[in-house]
Amino acid sequence: MNVALLGATGRTGVLVLDELLMRGHAVRALVRSEGRITPGAAITTVVGDSRDRDTLSELVGGVEAVMSALGPRARDESLHRDTAKALVASMHDAGVRRFVGVSGMGIDVPGDQRSLSAKVAASLVKLVGGAVSRDKQLEYEVFSASDLDWTLARPPRLADGEETGRLEHDARRSTRSTKIRRADLATFLVDVAEQGLYLRQAPFVATARR
Ligand SMILES: NC(=O)c1ccc[n+]([C@@H]2O[C@H](COP(=O)([O-])OP(=O)(O)OC[C@H]3O[C@@H](n4cnc5c(N)ncnc54)[C@H](OP(=O)(O)O)[C@@H]3O)[C@@H](O)[C@H]2O)c1
């Protein structure tokens, strides 16, 4: 596949990029400045901001799927919703339907079946996350109102470390585990994009306990 990737320089994004390249996909990566990623045979870069329509049009033109591991580096309380609005419009113009991105377990989706502990954890995420958490909820509203084939993964706390290969995920039921390795999340996201899983859904996903 030809894949456009947002957040490719981030801690999860770099792992998504590696996974895509390892599986033989061609990637067009969004970077905020030249030199952050070295272009190669299977990788090209587009320089710009994720909220900029012209940048996104250049990024998504001719790709089969758009993936994102975008996240606010500083206090940027509308990054996700502003990017989602610009991205939906750019993808629509370019005729690209598939989007796979990272949300968080704090967002609410109709039909959710959370355990009591997951309900408490989600309330805490909303309390501590404040405006950023609200921004992710609004991002979800933008994608769900679109006609795209979107998937927004809802991981709990992200952790670094080796890939475990132990994933639990479900469209409605909260996970038992309360964390996920970024490497496991990267594999999950690429699986979802490759296999067309969880269309127009926001699956909970975590690294399963032993
Ligand atoms: N931390 C957690 O426990 C947790 C839990 C659940 C979900 N999440 C979510 O998981 C996602 C990935 O997290 P992470 O820690 O891997 O992210 P990260 O390391 O903070 O990376 C964020 C990425 O977004 C890019 N970015 C930020 N603003 C941008 C803009 N205006 N234009 C273009 N690119 C921009 C950054 O580019 P630069 O390199 O140029 O800054 C970087 O590539 C985030 O959405 C986060 O909210 C996190």
% the chain with pLDDT above 70: 100
How close is the Cα of 198 to the center of ligand 1, in Å? Answer: 22
**Amino acid 154: pLDDT:** 98
User: Range of 49's domain?
Assistant: 2-207
Which of 103, 158, 182, 185 to probe ligand 1 with, by most ligand atoms within 8 A of CB? 158
65-112: per-residue pLDDT in tens?
999 999 998 889 999 999 999 999 999 999 999 999 999 999 999 999
Which of 102, 132, 136 to probe ligand 1 with, by most ligand atoms within 8 A of CB? 102
How close is the Cα of 132 to the center of ligand 1, in Å? Answer: 12
Take atom 1 of ligand 1 and give the residue whose Cα is closest.
158
Question: What CATH number is given to the structural domain containing 170?
Answer: 3.40.50.720
Domain tally, the chain: 1
173-206: per-residue pLDDT in tens?
999 999 999 999 999 999 999 999 999 999 999 9
> Residues 37, 8: contact at Cβ < 8 Å?
yes
Q: Region 157-170: what's the mean pLDDT? A: 97
pLDDT, mean over the chain: 97
How close is the Cα of 71 to the center of ligand 1, in Å? Answer: 3
